Structure 1
Amino acid sequence: MLVVSDEVQAALARRRPVVALESTIIAHGLPRPRNLRVALELEEAVREEGTVPATIAVLDGRPHVGLDKEQLERVAGEDGIRKLGHRDLPLAAATGASGATTVSATALLAARAGLRVFATGGLGGVHREWTATQDESADLGLLARTRITVVCAGVKSILDVAATLQRLETLGVAVAGYRTERFPGFYLADSGHPVDWTLRTPAEVAGVMRAQDALAGPESALVVANPVPEEQQLDPALHTRVLDEALRECDARGVTGQAVTPFLLDHLVRHTEGASLEANLAAVRGNVRLAARIAAAWARG
């Protein structure tokens, strides 16, 4: 059922580096037609590092690892493209649905195809007011049982970052800052929380990946938290003010459950005049290039 592109199959057979890319940012994270331009730009950035990109999506019920240009155009431009977490994959497969993959679905399908490195923007995590809602992203549980290295800019700043870090520790998911001792905050270079470990080169990250295998411990992920450059981050004062406004409006309107995250992110985009979106893209670009370099170091053995 899993369709791996010829290019990705050839790269894996020759032990060439491959980087998995999610498709939710294409279908649901950016306006048309910019979303397609960004999708092509991110794939090209991977190629510039001497690595093969593998954007992942489900088309007509079949999970694809590696998309051609026509398939990328479908994800970017077709109406009715669903947003699929890993729990949705059997339903999409059985009903012939098409969908963009979130972090959890992308990580699962990438690992099934034999990929080891995955680049994204920010992870999901524990939501604010967790004690009342018990709302937690499926990303966390999936990463606790999937051996993959995820390069990200931390977790989305609309979440409870401290609780998310605690949850990752409880689940046994390793977290390291890349050239930083502070956990990044998605739009922000520093979430206000420290990390216990810092890695400084792609070769060091690859060394941790090899140690994971040698120790034969639980099949959990390695999270490499790569901060957005400070000069490209969202202004911290603006971020705090607009997020506080968004949280109050969310509460006033009674927005709950899965609707909370898209509501808050949309509010941030509109009330920062697009600056939050530009910070998001800056983070993704940096993560994609770093992931490509880590994949290359991993492939060298």
Structure 2
Amino acid sequence: MVFAPEVEAARAAGQPIVALESTIITHGMPFPQNVETARLVEAEVRAHGATPATIAILDGTLHIGLTDAQLDHLGQLKDVMKVSRADMPVCIAMGRNGATTVAATMIAAHLAGIKVFATGGIGGVHRGAETSYDISADLPELAQTPVTVVCAGAKAILDLPKTFEYLETLGVPVIAFGQDNLPAFWSRDSGIKAPLRMDDAADIARAAQMRAAMGLPGGQLVANPIPLEAEITADILAPHIAAALAEADQGFIAAKAVTPFLLQRLFELTDGASLVANIALVMNNARLAARIAAAHH
């Protein structure tokens, strides 16, 4: 595990750090837009008082923070493993390149002593999971790794009621930020009432500290609604999601390939609007995560 110079300096000075994942770079967008977006998100974290640490595996080394050159390099690499808890150690042991999912980024952040992580949306229970058993490793990770994850909700392509039901079973605090209902990624309102609501970054940081003081395992999930001006409402998205899911079924697309396929099809079906919204919500999450990280200090 190596730290980027900027992250190492922040650690030495005891300054707040926000972890960022790398699958959005390798599996979410084409080059150079992926690197440009990653830089914008990093800049947003800095502008709100914290140091960004984009996490990735390069040639078998776990990097906590990437230099400009490494970010460019990662953005253009082919055959990058999309790593989660199960295959992260294998990727490192084999000297491969790997982009971290939510679960893997949480593991790396915890190893590095980073308490807050900003992402777009978490994985969850896939539609049809009652027959496929397709449930993201992100959910049990939230139950065991003590990192506060700031997202815009679970990805709207998932079965949201089952996802939040499963998180409740696992004892994961699910906190809606600034509203009573949980957001649904591209939409501000999923129609599902949040189990918890918090309106202040300092309260969220204190809740994490209390959880640690009580010896409770696991992190917190903060669901931060997409900015109003960037929202795509659920009624507009629903037919597109239904069409993309039907195509995935017909093409026998399964496991880790499902989410990238669905996100790409939604990008095409919404004429690019889903990607614009995705960037806006990640930036918004970076801002809130920086404020929570600063409150930890």
**Is the pair's TM-score, using the shorter chain for normalization, greater than 0.5?**
yes
The answer on 1:233 being equivalent to 2:237 is no
Contact persistence 1:175–1:223 (CA under 8 A): yes
CA distance in 2, matches of 1:172, 1:54: 28
What residue number does 1:213 align with? 212
CA change 1:5–1:253 in 2 (3 A) is: closer
Q: Any idea what the Cα deviations from partners look like across 1:144-168, whole Å, max 9, x if unmatched?
A: 1100000000000111101010111
CA distance in 1, matches of 2:257, 2:43: 33
What residue number does 1:194 align with? 193
Contact persistence 2:28–2:260 (CA under 8 A): no
CA distance in 1, matches of 2:257, 2:27: 13
What residue number does 2:220 align with? 222
CA distance in 1, matches of 2:244, 2:4: 41
What residue number does 1:19 align with? 18
Out of 236, 251, 254, the position equivalent to 2:252 is 254
Matched residue count = 297
TM-score by length of 2: 0.97
Alignment of 1:57-76 (within 5 A): 57-76=56-75
What residue number does 2:143 align with? 144
Shift of residue 123, structure 1, vs aligned partner: 0.3
1:223 partner SS? strand
What residue number does 2:240 align with? 242
Shift of residue 207, structure 1, vs aligned partner: 1.4
CA distance in 2, matches of 1:251, 1:80: 25
CA distance in 1, matches of 2:9, 2:232: 40
CA distance in 2, matches of 1:252, 1:210: 47
Q: Which runs of 5+ in 2 are unaligned?
A: none
1:123 partner SS? coil
1:193 partner SS? coil
CA distance in 2, matches of 1:234, 1:94: 42
CA distance in 2, matches of 1:160, 1:179: 23
Q: Any idea what the Cα deviations from partners look like across 1:273-301, whole Å, max 9, x if unmatched?
A: 011111111110100011001101111xx
Contact persistence 1:250–1:264 (CA under 8 A): yes
Q: Which runs of 5+ in 1 are unaligned?
A: none
Q: Any idea what the Cα deviations from partners look like across 1:215-257, whole Å, max 9, x if unmatched?
A: 222x211111001022211143220111111122222333333
What residue number does 2:159 align with? 160
CA distance in 2, matches of 1:71, 1:87: 25
What residue number does 2:90 align with? 91
Shift of residue 178, structure 1, vs aligned partner: 0.4
Q: What is the aligned-residue RMSD (CA, Å)?
A: 1.2
Contact persistence 2:188–2:231 (CA under 8 A): yes
The answer on 1:48 being equivalent to 2:47 is yes
Runs of 4+ in structure 1 off by over 4 angstroms are none
TM-score by length of 1: 0.95
Shift of residue 28, structure 1, vs aligned partner: 1.2
Shift of residue 214, structure 1, vs aligned partner: 2.0
| Code of the aligned partner of 2:220 | L
What residue number does 2:291 align with? 293
1:144 partner SS? helix
Contact persistence 2:27–2:260 (CA under 8 A): no
Q: Any idea what the Cα deviations from partners look like across 1:25-69, whole Å, max 9, x if unmatched?
A: 111111111111111111111111121110000010010101111
Shift of residue 180, structure 1, vs aligned partner: 1.1
Contact persistence 1:176–1:199 (CA under 8 A): yes
| Code of the aligned partner of 1:86 | R
Out of 271, 274, 280, the position equivalent to 1:273 is 271
Shift of residue 82, structure 1, vs aligned partner: 2.1
| Code of the aligned partner of 1:42 | V
